[in-house]
Amino acid sequence: MSENNPFPGENNTGHIWDDNLRELLNEPPGWWRIGFHASWICVVLYTIWYPSWPLIDGHFKGVSGWTSIGEYKEDLSAIEEIRAPYEAKLQGMSAAAILADDELSSYVSASAKVLFGDNCAACHGSGGQGGPNFPVLADDDWLYGGSIDAIQASISNGRQGMMTAHGKTLSSDEVDSLAQSIVDGNVTGNALYMGKACFACHGADGKGMAALGSANLTDSIYRFAGDQLESVKYTISHGVNDPSDAETRNAVMPKFGDKLSETDIKKLAVYVRKMGGGQ
């Protein structure tokens, strides 16, 4: 084949394709060879220094003794050392006292963000903006009161209010009339409001009662999703957590007193209170 090589002296293999395409035998440049040998040397050193090769009874742990878990524990220990003095103070203080302390309040705002994300954001949104059928926490409208103590009680004990379904006691026209009055912000001006004893839970002024967790009907803030008018009609007809109505709205906040520590609950109470402004 070399006898028929049309490119003699070029140091090619003698294989020619498409008249002039050929494979050369030139050695790679020196810098490339140095880099190649340096790379496998680095690989060998790496596998000696760090955990690497599998063994019958485990794996080679490396001369450095490094592990990712060990590094994690060291970093966590350093963070906990920084947090320790703040956490010690929080344990002996009430949520109200923490809120009043600027330094601790700022610490809680930073440290409770993860707590909120892990335990509250799924329902209330990462910024407290609420979600379908879940209350907004980033405003000043509170069903059970927005004081720091009331918020702490809600987190610790959970909430499960109840509104009676009125679909069987009110006609469709009466339901429509009440719903329209609520959407218009003039529920107390509707004779049905007082005549059907709605005021017993929502108050004579329609602003709700924190003791019962009854909603303020005058502020145009709607917890349940969907068209406002139709949503209000549905709530009046089927109630909330009413066991006598199969189509009642379900609105239950679980209690976290058994899941979170007292300090964590105080942190969340302060975090939520600062998020919405409280009362």
Closest CA to 23 of 7, 39, 45: 7
**What is the rounded average pLDDT of the residues 110-137?**
92
Q: Centre a 10 Å sphere on the Cβ of residue 180 and count the other Cβ atoms it contains.
A: 15
Domain 69-159+255-276 sits in CATH 1.10.760.10? yes
Whether the per-residue pLDDT at 2 is higher than 60: the answer is no
**What is the rounded average pLDDT of the residues 52-78?**
93
Does the annotation flag 42 for ligand binding?
no
SS3 content of the chain, % helix, strand, coil (to 5): 50, 10, 45
Listed by start position, the domains of the chain span 2-59, 69-159+255-276, 172-238
Asked whether the beta carbons of 85 and 226 are under 8 A apart, the reply is: no
Does the annotation flag 15 for ligand binding?
no
Closest CA to 123 of 136, 140, 104, 139: 136
Whether the per-residue pLDDT at 1 is higher than 60: the answer is no
**What is the rounded average pLDDT of the residues 93-119?**
95
Does the annotation flag 238 for ligand binding?
no
Single pTM value for the model: 0.76
Which pLDDT tens digit goes with each residue over 165-177? Answer: 999 999 999 999 9
Q: How far apart are CA 72 and CA 83, in angstroms?
A: 16
Which pLDDT tens digit goes with each residue over 239-270? Answer: 999 999 999 999 999 999 999 999 999 999 99
Q: Which of 1-10, 36-45, 183-192 has the highest mean pLDDT?
A: 36-45
**What is the rounded average pLDDT of the residues 137-160?**
94
Does the annotation flag 194 for ligand binding?
no
Does the annotation flag 201 for ligand binding?
yes
Pairing of strands 58-59, 21-24: unpaired
